[in-house]
Amino acid sequence: MSDIEVIKKEVILQFKNNTFQLIPAPTARWPGGLIVFEKNDGYLFSEKLFSCHIASEYWSENNRISTESDRKHFYNCLMAPMSSQITSLTEKVSEFDIKCIAPLHGPAIEYSLKSFLNDYIRWGENLCINRPKVALIYASAYGNTASIGDALAKGITSTSVEVESINCEFSSNDDLIQTIKKADGYLLGSPTLGGHAPTPIVSALGSILSEGDREKPIGIFGSFGWSGEAIDMLESKLKDGGFDFSFEPIRVKFSPNKPKIKEIEEIGTHFGRNILKKSRQKNRRSDTGMISSKTNPTLQALGRIVGSLCVLTASKGKGENNIKSAMLASWVSQASFSPPGLSISVAKDRAVESLLQIGDMFALNILSSNNLKEPMKRFAKPFAPGEDRFAGLETEETPNGQIIIPDSLAWLDASVKERMECGDHWVIYAEVNYGNVLNKDDLTAVHHRKSGSNY
């Protein structure tokens, strides 16, 4: 039987004609992470780093553009909560003479390697520059509590708030305290093991109670198998300590399903918006938004661009894993004749954005100028996390199972083909599959604005 060597620091191993450089790459999500660089041929085996969720028949991607959106989506979902650690690791490996990157998920990367690594560094730096920060502190026995934390982090980062994700089982108390002191909000997550919270969580709770600011938002979450006493304990201790919760404690029995994950992401988005609101209240001098829009001629001119008022609806998955969402949209335009296509701009923190990845389908319900009252009343208001956007509404379906609002003037069924990141929005190009006009005697509702600084 071969000896097993535990790698705790960077080492170089020689195996026949190959030289391997082993680099521990611990993160909050994967404390046992390891990067391996084979020096002779220049292969970097990066594990989760640089991955994407694509099942390809080819060994490597054909070009950077073919997978860029998928790799950015993977980064946003799993790497963004650990952006500072990921940026440091990327900067380190970018100094190697790499010929090919072989990640755990998705095709290998052989083209434009320097450009790709620079993108990874840039994505991380963009999350860290003068932005509010949330300390997400957790322990996870079977990965379920970590999944909840990942969903919260994804929702928060969609608002441009940074998340520092800390697995307190593998972090020093000094690092934990420094993170708590610098954070603009706190999230604490724990599993329940034998009716109790793990010791590292109890210690982290003590650090928050002693070093945390009672004026900053806080939330707790956790998974359990039977009764969830750990979450009850966290709630009780933090309430007694003078903290006010931004949302009801998230309790998940065993593993969260896809609709629950979507709801948790939306909770994270609301939490991030709350952080941003408090941050702007402290820095009003740098937040000129509405003030400049009243006098800035450029913004006034930009606001004169008009768009048709629509309700975008999206449905994905079957049965208990079905997820549905919707939003009021006016930044919509036809984009191509052949094939027939349209473009739509979606804010990064919109709940429906995660249902508009390449390959996903949606329906665009174009509203009527004479029948706006009910659709506007329902879809112009903000939705609570997990709220059913279509409760009590009689709907129909497109041939692809997307949701049609019968009060619409017309509808289009479309498939997402391309996504382009544009500042605080995603511009989505979609090819139209089906469509119909429901009311030929009416005109399209149009959205008129006075400023280009808001909707």
Where does the pLDDT of residue 286 fall: very low under 50, low under 70, confident under 90, or very high at 90 and above?
Answer: very low
Same domain assignment for residues 443 and 308: yes
Last residue of a domain, one of 247, 280, 313: 280
Residue 365 clears pLDDT 80, i.e. is over it: yes
**CA 431 – CA 335 distance, rounded (Å):** 9
Where does the pLDDT of residue 410 fall: very low under 50, low under 70, confident under 90, or very high at 90 and above?
Answer: very high
Q: Is residue 288 domain-resident? A: no
Query: CATH number for the domain including 138?
Result: 3.40.50.360
Q: Is residue 3 domain-resident? A: no
Q: Is residue 1 domain-resident? A: no
Q: Which residue has the higher pLDDT, 32 or 252?
A: 252
Q: Is residue 183 domain-resident? A: yes
What does the block give as tokens for 186?
Answer: 């706190």
Residue 156 clears pLDDT 80, i.e. is over it: yes
The model's pLDDT over 197-218, given as tens digits with 9 standing for 90+, comes to: 999 999 999 999 999 999 999 9
Runs of H (alpha helix) within 183-217: 199-211
Same domain assignment for residues 151 and 37: no
**CA 219 – CA 134 distance, rounded (Å):** 11
Cβ pair 270, 134 in contact under 8 A: no
Burial track 98-137 (b if 16+ CB lie within 10 A, e otherwise): bebbbbeebbbbbeebeebbebbeebbeebeeebbbbbbb
Rg over alpha carbons for the chain, rounded to the nearest Å, is 24
Query: CATH number for the domain including 423?
Result: 2.30.110.10
Residue 1 clears pLDDT 80, i.e. is over it: no
Q: State which residues form the domain around 275.
A: 133-280
What does the block give as tokens for 152?
Answer: 């919260």
The model's pLDDT over 317-328, given as tens digits with 9 standing for 90+, comes to: 999 999 999 999
DSSP classification of residue 4: P
Identify the pLDDT of residue 2.
60
Cβ pair 432, 342 in contact under 8 A: yes
- Of these ranges, 76-80, 172-176, 298-302, 331-335, the one predicted with the greatest mean pLDDT is 331-335
Identify the pLDDT of residue 160.
84
Last residue of a domain, one of 71, 93, 128: 128
- Of these ranges, 24-38, 158-172, 292-306, 415-429, the one predicted with the greatest mean pLDDT is 415-429
Query: CATH number for the domain including 20?
Result: 3.60.15.10
Residue 292 clears pLDDT 60, i.e. is over it: no
Identify the pLDDT of residue 55.
80
pTM equals 0.80
Same domain assignment for residues 105 and 171: no
What residues does 365 pair with on adjacent strands? 311, 411
Same domain assignment for residues 121 and 141: no
What percentage of the chain carries pLDDT values higher than 90? 58
Cβ pair 333, 343 in contact under 8 A: yes
Identify the pLDDT of residue 433.
97
Please provide the average confidence, as pLDDT, over all residues in the chain: 89
Same domain assignment for residues 370 and 388: yes
Contacts of 329 (CB under 8 A, 6+ apart): 309, 310, 311, 312, 344, 346, 364
Q: Is residue 16 domain-resident? A: yes
Same domain assignment for residues 200 and 117: no
Identify the pLDDT of residue 131.
82
**CA 385 – CA 260 distance, rounded (Å):** 10
The model's pLDDT over 339-349, given as tens digits with 9 standing for 90+, comes to: 999 999 999 99
Identify the pLDDT of residue 227.
86
**CA 381 – CA 327 distance, rounded (Å):** 10
| Phi-psi label, residue 195: left if phi above 0, alpha if psi -120 to 50, beta otherwise | left
**CA 455 – CA 444 distance, rounded (Å):** 18
**CA 341 – CA 427 distance, rounded (Å):** 13
Identify the pLDDT of residue 291.
47
Where does the pLDDT of residue 336 fall: very low under 50, low under 70, confident under 90, or very high at 90 and above?
Answer: very high
Identify the pLDDT of residue 111.
83
Q: Is residue 5 domain-resident? A: no
Domain count, the chain: 3
Same domain assignment for residues 251 and 330: no
Same domain assignment for residues 31 and 114: yes
Average pLDDT value for residue range 373-377: 89
Same domain assignment for residues 25 and 145: no
Identify the pLDDT of residue 289.
47
Same domain assignment for residues 152 and 72: no
| Strand pairing report for 425-437 and 396-397 | unpaired
Residue 192 clears pLDDT 90, i.e. is over it: yes
What does the block give as tokens for 240?
Answer: 């007694």
**CA 414 – CA 433 distance, rounded (Å):** 5
Same domain assignment for residues 160 and 252: yes
Q: Is residue 293 domain-resident? A: no
Last residue of a domain, one of 74, 94, 128: 128
Same domain assignment for residues 417 and 314: yes
Coil, strand or helix: which one is 412? strand
Coil, strand or helix: which one is 148? helix
Coil, strand or helix: which one is 410? strand
Q: Is residue 294 domain-resident? A: no
Average pLDDT value for residue range 271-279: 89
